[in-house]
Amino acid sequence: MALRQKIAVLIGGVGGAKLALGLANLQPNPHLTFIVNTGDDFWHLGLKICPDIDTLVYTLAGTVDPQLGWGVADDTTHVLDSLRQRYAIDTWFKLGDQDLALHLLRTNAMRGQVSLTDFTSMIARRLGIAATILPMCDAEMPTSIHTREHGELSFQDYFVRQRWQPVVEKIAYDSGQAAGLSAQVREALTCADLVMIAPSNPWLSIAPILAVPGLRELLMALPAPKVAITPVIGGDAVKGPTAKIMRELDLEVSARTVAGYYGGIIDGFVDDLRNPHFSVAGLRTTRLDTLMTDLERKVALARDTLDWVRGWSS
Ligand code: FO1
């Protein structure tokens, strides 16, 4: 492997950001590129909101709200309060004042034809983030959720407004108007010594990335090892609707199901110590502690995963 290892990570929001922090604190530090889900991006109150990108940016900049896992720590809500109290606007989507600053800047930049890729790189540099953060693509590819109770819902309507309670019947990944892979995503994947799939929700966070035209095919053709980490621990997800969605889609809630879902893409799967053993022909598996409750455990999971993959070539 190269002296300074190049790692590309497919990643969603809160769950994936924990692994990102572990990777970012490794010594010696690898060259990291995060390819981030934008299927949950939306326009709200005239602003372009990119929750997963922002969660990663705030996490790596050290400013994320530690309780929520998204938004800025100790943020105020003067703008939102004013919208609600003075103008009777339904403020179902919580936007703190410092967070709003980023949405204002991004909306302004995009109106000026700056791409989301360029804007995100500029913000990451400004906030002193060493890693490269790339949106999965520059075109809008909104994920929509078909529910039993309300029919088709936009992602944030389902996730935040309805608190992911409606029963999911189908998830649709839009690739209609996507321009395809950006040059930056293509280069990051092509040059990577290792590709990782973070323990993010496979159906809500990783599948939209895999739906970017050309990305799945590129991944499958890469010679570099590709490894996913389980988001399912002990028959449940640490946080969020992963297990609930699996049940609603009639899938067994297990790491094996997730490994099968990534079949044809990954060579290795990091399962959790607490899960029952399984084996899949042609897939390397290991079992580690994937519950990233503090920084030490985040770094340990990142380090142990890299050590495991390094062992493949010896
Ligand atoms: N999640 C919530 O559950 N409620 C919110 O009001 C909310 C606001 C919000 C604002 C900015 C941001 O970057 C993220 C925000 N999130 C909120 C989290 C986010 O919408 C979801 O976790 C992701 O979209 C799923 O990955």
The domains located in the chain, with CATH, are: 6-313 (3.40.50.10680)
**Residue listed under structure tokens 């690739």:** 175
d(CA 191, CA 34): 13
12 lines ligand 1 (CB under 6 A): yes
158 lines ligand 1 (CB under 6 A): no
Signed CA dihedral, 231, 95, 159, 129: sign only = negative
Which of the listed residues 89, 159, 164, 242 should we mutate to test ligand 1's pocket, taking the one with most ligand atoms within 8 A of CB?
159
Residues in the chain: 314
CA of 83 to the centre of ligand 1 (A): 18
Residues forming beta bridges with residue 152, ordered by sequence position: 146
34 lines ligand 1 (CB under 6 A): no
| C-alpha distances out from residue 52 to 10, 49, 55, 61, 62, Å | 12, 9, 5, 14, 15
52 lines ligand 1 (CB under 6 A): yes
Conformational region of residue 163, where left means phi above 0, alpha means psi within -120 to 50, and beta covers everything else: left
d(CA 237, CA 119): 32
Contacts of 113 (CB under 8 A, 6+ apart): none
d(CA 233, CA 240): 13
The ligand 1 atom nearest the CA atom of 55: 13
Contacts of 291 (CB under 8 A, 6+ apart): 233, 238, 272, 297
Give me the tens of pLDDT residue by residue for the chain, a chain 314 residues long: 446 899 999 999 899 999 999 999 999 999 999 999 999 999 999 999 999 999 999 999 999 999 999 999 999 999 999 999 999 999 999 999 999 999 999 999 999 999 999 999 999 999 999 999 999 999 999 999 999 999 999 999 999 999 999 999 999 998 766 678 999 999 999 999 999 999 999 999 999 999 999 999 999 999 999 999 999 998 878 888 999 999 999 999 999 999 999 999 999 999 999 999 999 999 999 999 999 999 999 999 999 999 999 999 86
42 lines ligand 1 (CB under 6 A): no
40 lines ligand 1 (CB under 6 A): yes
Q: Is the pTM of this model over 0.85?
A: yes
50 lines ligand 1 (CB under 6 A): no
d(CA 155, CA 235): 25
